[in-house]
Each structure stands twice: as C-alpha cells, then as structure tokens.
A and B are shown apart, each in its own frame.
Chain A
Amino acid sequence: MTSVTLSVNGRQHVVEVEPRRTLADVLRDDLGLHGTHLGCEHGVCGACTVLVDGDPTRACLLFAVQCQDSSITTIEGLSKDGALHPVQQAFTDNFGLQCGFCTPGFIMLLVGALESHSVGNDEDLVEVLSSNLCRCTGYRSILQAAKQAAAELQAGAGKGAR
C-alpha cells in the first residue's frame, strides 16, 4: 500500500492505495465520488473523464499513485453555490442526457476543452465530442448543448478580457 495525497475539487484527501488502483476506482470506492463512471476501462468510452490539472483525462488509464501533487476536478466539483456550471446548465436546457451514464464524462470533457484548450468552431466541437460515447441520445442534443456552452463561456471570456 502507498500513501497518496489527492487534491480533489479543492479538498485534500490522504488515501492508502494499492498502486494498481486507477484514479477512477479511488474516486469512486475510497472517496465515494460516484459521479465519475466506469464503462470500458480501456480508454474508449470516456465515461470516466475528469480534469487533471485542467486537462480532460481518462481516469481509468491513470493510477491514483500518479496523482500526488495534481489537482483533480470531478463532476461533483463543478457547481458553485448551488448554481450549475454553464456546461451542466446547457445539458439541462438542451436535453443533452437520457440515462445519464455518459453525462459526467461528456461534461468534464467539454469543461476541460472549453476552459483550457482552443476550440474554434463547430467542427472543432464535433472533433472534441468524438472522444466520448453515448448510447442514448444520438449526439444531436449533446452537440446542441456543447454549442450553447461554448458560446456562453466564450462570451464570458470576452467580457473578462475587456
């Protein structure tokens, strides 16, 4: 067992883990943060996507012992003072979810992409979304939500810059 300090959603957690346990397992089983879902466990579906130092990352392909000194954000850390994050709000407004299994992954993917990487146009957004799988929606409503969130976050960033 190895002792690791994880910084998750702004809080420090000290956990004793076996090196073979992935970040996704430790978030779910040790910290009780069940919003991070596990689907394929080999990097393909994106259900486990969280932010590691701002980058959208597959939590099933990273061992928790690798995350000492990293700052991790999960779906549970997005809303502020009871208000949904603009990406969460956009999913609600556009019916971007049905069963909801893929939703935390899609939302963390989009938050990471929109906040720390350049997403220029709708084609870039489609390319970003191609990272994750949804078995319910047919993607149209997810893309709609992504467009709304991108417009809102970029307008916000523009205001901040001025």
Chain B
Amino acid sequence: MKPSPFDYLAPGDLDEALGALAEHEGEAKVLAGGQSLVPAMNFRLATPSVLVDLNRIEGLAEVRVGDGELVIQSLVRHRDLEIPATEDATALLLARVSRLVGHLPIRVRGTVAGSLAHADPAAEWCMLAVALDATIVARSVRGTRRIAANEFFEGLFTTALAEDEIITEVRLPLLGNAGTGFREKSQTAGDFATVATIAACTLDDGIVADARLAIAGAGATPVRANRAESLLVAREATPDAIAVASRAAAEDVEPSSDASTSADYRRHLVEVLARRALDDALEAAS
C-alpha cells in the first residue's frame, strides 16, 4: 500500500523543528531513520498529516563521551555505534548490540533515538536503555526535560514523550571495566529478537558488587529483573547462584503468546538467555 498524503517539512535547525511540532501538535510526526515509521505509514497504521524530517539538521549526529556518560544524539544511526567510541564497557556493549539490530540497510538509516521513541517491546536499544538506567533528554518549545529510562517506557509502543517533544540525547552511564553479556534468540538472522537479555556486573574479590539484568521480548516493555539482581549481589558468583537468579528472572516476567511463540516458550528463553548473559558478564568481570 501507499502512505496517505502529508505535508513534508525539512527544517534546517532544531528550534524550527520544535516550532513545527508545536504548531501541528497531534498531526505531526518526527521522521528520523524512517525504518519503523515509514512501514507503518505504508500500511496506513500511521497517518500523520505533517512530517518533520530531522535529517537536514546539522550537529545532531554526534556520539560524545564526557562526565561519566556516553551521549548519543538524535541522528546517530545504529551503524555508527559498531565501532566503539572508547574502550569503556558501555561502548563495547553498544558495538555488540548494534550488530544485531536489523540488517545493514536498516542500520545505515535507523537511529537509536528513533528506536526508543518507537518502543518496540523486543527492541535491543530499549532494553539497553533500561539495563543501564539511561537518561532520555527530550526538548520541546516548552523546554528541556530529562526522563529516566525506567519511567520512559509506558507500554507497547507507548512512551512518556509528549507529541511536541524531540529526543535530542540518549545518555548512558559509562560502566568502566564492568563485565557485560548480551544474548538474543530470533527466528532468523537480523529479525527482531523473540527474547533478548543484557547483563552487566562488577565483582569485588569474587563477590558480586553490582548486577544488572534486563529482558526484552517478555512483556509490553523491556524490564529489569530486580529480584534476580538482588539474589546475586553480595554473594559469590557460583553457577548455582546464577541458575537461581535466572529462574527468578523467568518467574517474574509476564510474557504473552502470539502466533509463533507461546508464553511458556518465552519464559523458557528468559531463563536460558538470562543465565547465558550473566555467565558472560561475570566471566568478563573476573
């Protein structure tokens, strides 16, 4: 099918873009990589009457490291993160994750900020934002606000963003020399994950000092496995402890069934992929 008609605006700076969104609030949509929005428009699932294309705005495509954070601007493409910006664990993790987001033609155009705004429950970047407690910086003509990742994802394809807001930055804490793990099961290479997990851990003398575990594809939004995390912290990282934590993670998710995957199978994948991601993270941390 073909999209329904719209007016196309390609502002040259951010203020102009924000002004256009405010003026056409409720009718306008931001266009970044177009790799989620345009399919939805071609199916007429999305019928915006105005498109505000960000791609002509200069100075919005930077990856920057500073103040203990890695900062990703609006027009940073998935592909841009394949080469780590620093040797920090966060940048190395991003490089691994980016390679599993769709295929090369998707990665050369799709953006991290667009993926967060789209909020697919299986999206790798959304899970990463939750795993690392990212801060999402959103601007509108009304000002700038910072939204914590755990308050950003509100449901299936639903976020805390207002219709006149643009994500200008995604800020991720640098993890230093933490160990990380990233595991994903998808139907075919490059597909959206059925279930995916990210773990990040630090060890102090063999004892788990910090543990993060996030899960995508087992609920309406990516989630943190809080109980699994606290079952690990302050304990020795034994295979038993990891198995117990992974089981807890699987018990706590609320997956649903769809045409290709049952809820039970998703829960099983959570347990297996949580264990593998934690194994990888704790191995790398030691």
Q: Hey, which bits of chain A sit against chain B, CB under 8 A?
A: 2, 18-22, 25, 41-43, 46, 49, 55-58, 60-63, 65-66, 109, 112-113, 117, 126-128, 130-131
The 8 closest A-B pairs by CB, nearest first: A131-B103, A19-B8, A42-B39, A130-B189, A55-B108, A61-B38, A20-B3, A56-B105
Q: With A and B bound together, what is the CA distance between A117 and B79 in angstroms?
A: 10
A130 to B34 Cα, complex, angstroms? 20
Distance in angstroms from A34 CB to nearest chain B CB is 17
Q: Is the CB of A18 within 8 A of B42?
A: no
Determine how close the nearest CB of chain A comes to the CB of B101; give it in whole angstroms. Answer: 12
- Give the CA-CA distance A2 to B51 in the complex, in Å: 14
Q: List 20 A-B contacts (CB under 8 A).
A: A20-B6, A20-B41, A22-B38, A41-B42, A43-B35, A43-B38, A46-B103, A49-B105, A55-B105, A55-B109, A57-B105, A58-B109, A61-B38, A61-B39, A62-B34, A109-B105, A112-B104, A127-B190, A130-B189, A131-B190
Which residues of chain B have C-beta atoms less than 8 A from A25's C-beta?
A: 2
A57 CB, min distance to chain B CBs, angstroms: 6
For window 182-230 of chain B, which residues contact chain A by CB distance below 8 Å? 188-190
Question: Is A60 in contact with B108, judged by CB distance below 8 angstroms?
Answer: no
Question: Quick check: B104 and A43 within 8 Å, CB to CB?
Answer: no
B86 interface contact, C-beta 8 A: no
Are B53 and A66 within 8 A (Cβ)?
yes
Looking at chain A's contact residues, the main secondary structure is mixed
Report the minimal beta-carbon distance from A109 to chain B, rounded to whole angstroms.
Answer: 7
Instruction: Report the interface size for chain B: residues with CB under 8 A from the other chain.
Output: 29
- B105→A131 contact, CB < 8 A: yes
* Cα(A61)–Cα(B39), bound, Å: 7
Query: Does the CB pair B8–A109 fall under 8 Å?
Result: no
Cross-chain contact of B109 among A2, A42, A57, A109 (Cβ < 8 A): A57
Q: In the complex, which residue of chain B has the Cβ closest to the Cβ of A105?
A: B105
Q: Indicate if the CB atoms of B189 and A127 lie closer than 8 Å.
A: yes
Asked if B8 contacts A43 (CB within 8 A), the reply is no
In contact, B6 and A56 (Cβ under 8 angstroms): no
Chain B residue, CB-CB nearest to A44: B39
Taking the closest CB of chain A, its distance from the CB of B198, in whole angstroms, is 21
Contact between B8 and A42, CB atoms less than 8 A apart: no
**Bound-complex Cα distance A109 to B108 (A):** 12
| Residue pair B104, A117 in contact (C-beta under 8 Å) | yes
